[in-house]
Amino acid sequence: MTDLENKQVLVTGGCGSIGSELVERLLDYEEPSVIRVFDNDEAGLFDMKTRLSSPERLRFLLGNIRDRNRLEMAMEDIDVVFHAAALKHVGLNEYNPFETVQTNALGTQNLIRAAMEENVDAFITISTDKASNPTSVMGATKLLSERLTIAANTYKGEQDTKFGCVRFGNVFGSSGSVVPVFLDQIRDGGPITVTNQEMTRFIMPIEEATDLVFDAYRRLEGGETFVLKMPVFALMDLAEAMRTEYAPQFGYDPSEIEIHKTGKRPGERIHEKLISKDEIQQTIELEDMFVITPLIEDCGYEPLDYESRNSLDSEYTSADVDPLSKSEIIAMIENTSAYETMVNG
């Protein structure tokens, strides 16, 4: 894949945490000729249009990926698609599975069809660690979203479109993520609510998440799922570190902020998983990431001559990685671009 200079790019879910970061990075560094920001969040689109100043390159499109006709119009003359639109909150999706399927699975299918009809150059679906051997509605629909994307390489016929996925864990500062939730709870004087004291999670700054998306685009041959090697935090370490660091900033003694254990919520796992046992044999290891090659044949995938091969002999889970220290957790929070927004509410 070549770079994105002079490309026409569509970002679905462009007002979300990952989507908006992709849009800003595209504006600042990647030099596409057009960026279409597609979202069903009217207020989010208005706020982004007000905040970003590049009228000659930005287009703000209100619509829903469930609407195939709208997608066909949005896709006209597009070269590259970054698909970030999804329903992502595990608990809410457990109680609203019909809606989750409509957006995460059928919406992705609609988008793939529109991309094939337009014969775009590349299509990247942004997925989650919860898609690996899923235990939740959200994870199951995101796995299906991945499989639809990979299988599109077999449906495209003689077209040149390359379809692939990226998969990563929690992103600092993203909508609904635990760090801003804990900050709000500390700001309010507590308690901090921890679902399970044994819980571990993969974590990354939003800048690294977007780096992975662009790196995947440039490496894409068609059919791969790119998985960044990620640090891990223990949920109790995060709660305790944030209480110690931020309670004084909000006028509290850390000892005043209680930590309440609420129990695991529907669909949640104690430890997250980025690569499952069934995917190990298809996985190639690079210095900073893993590449899961297609599980199905006839994808048109031509293996690259990677210097490194797979060294995994078991699943890649958050239980198998040494967690960050409390000081490392705080340093990562404060180095993310979302830090000032989170702390200032």
| Mean pLDDT of all residues in 246-254 | 94
In this predicted model, which residue has the larger pLDDT, 64 or 301?
Answer: 64
Lowest mean pLDDT, pick from 99-103, 175-179, 188-192, 251-255? 175-179
Which of 55-64's residues contact partners 24+ apart within 8 Å by CB, and which partners?
Answer: 57/27, 57/32, 57/33, 58/23, 58/27, 59/34, 59/35, 61/36, 61/37, 63/38, 63/39, 64/40, 64/103, 64/107
* 341 confidence band (pLDDT: 50, 70, 90): low
- pLDDT beyond 60 at 306: no
Of 29 and 48, more confident: 48
How sure is the predictor about 332, in pLDDT bands with cuts at 50, 70 and 90?
confident
SS3 343: helix
Average pLDDT over residues 78-106: 96
For residue 104, the 8-state DSSP code is I
Give the pLDDT band (50/70/90) at residue 99: very high
- Please state, for a pLDDT cut of 90, what percent of the chain lies above it: 67
119 phi-psi bin (left φ>0, alpha ψ -120 to 50, beta other): left
| Six-digit token string for 162 | 């390359």
Q: How confident is the model at residue 300 (pLDDT cuts 50, 70, 90)?
A: low
Average pLDDT on 72-79 reads 97
- Reported as a pLDDT band with limits 50, 70 and 90, residue 294 is confident
pLDDT mean over 204-215: 90
Which of the four pLDDT bands, split at 50, 70 and 90, describes residue 142?
very high
Q: What pLDDT, on a 0 to 100 scale, did the predictor assign at position 180?
A: 85
The H or E element that residue 120 is part of is none
Pick from 72-81, 292-301, 316-325: least confident: 292-301
Give residue-wise pLDDT tens across range 152-180. Answer: 999 888 888 999 999 988 887 676 678 88
- Mean pLDDT of all residues in 169-197: 86
The average confidence (pLDDT) of the chain is: 90
Instruction: Give the model's confidence band at 246: pLDDT under 50 very low, under 70 low, under 90 confident, else very high.
Output: very high
pLDDT band at 313 (very low <50, low <70, confident <90, very high): confident
Residue-wise pLDDT for 120-133, tens only, equals 999 999 999 999 99
pLDDT(1) > 70: no
Q: Is the pLDDT of residue 297 over 90?
A: no
Instruction: Say what the pLDDT of residue 281 is.
Output: 86
* pLDDT value of residue 164: 96
pTM over 0.85: yes
pLDDT at 92 over 60: yes
> Domains of the chain by range and CATH?
8-171+204-229+273-317 (3.40.50.720)
Three-class DSSP category at 110: helix
Residues assigned a catalytic role: 130
